[in-house]
Amino acid sequence: MQDGTDATEPDAPAYAYKPSLMGAPWEFRLAPDAIEWQIGRYQGRTAYARIARVRLSFRPVTMQTRRFVTEIWPIDGPRLSIASSSWKSIV
């Protein structure tokens, strides 16, 4: 996403968060035909047609009494996990 080769529009929906204080940010962007992601120095692109399963769940943890998680399983590639303390920030 930072190399200038992505074909997404500048106003494409995007979401970023840091799962830990010292960790790299996780960034997700919705392109017209795929979800693009960048986790630290790793990045990838998963076409919507290649997504096998999506799970939306509510998983409170010790420090966050409200935590929403979206998990995306592509047919091939890593599982993407998107967490938020508000359902509005993901939507």
Task: Encode pLDDT of 39-79 as tens digits.
Answer: 889 999 999 999 999 999 887 765 656 778 889 999 998 89
Contacts of 63 (CB under 8 A, 6+ apart): none
Mean pLDDT confidence for 84-91: 56
Q: Is the pTM of this model over 0.85?
A: no
Q: Provide the token pair at 54.
A: 């999506």
CA distance to 34, 75, 81, 84, per residue, from 44 (Å) = 10, 14, 14, 21
**Taking residues 2-17, what's their average pLDDT?**
68
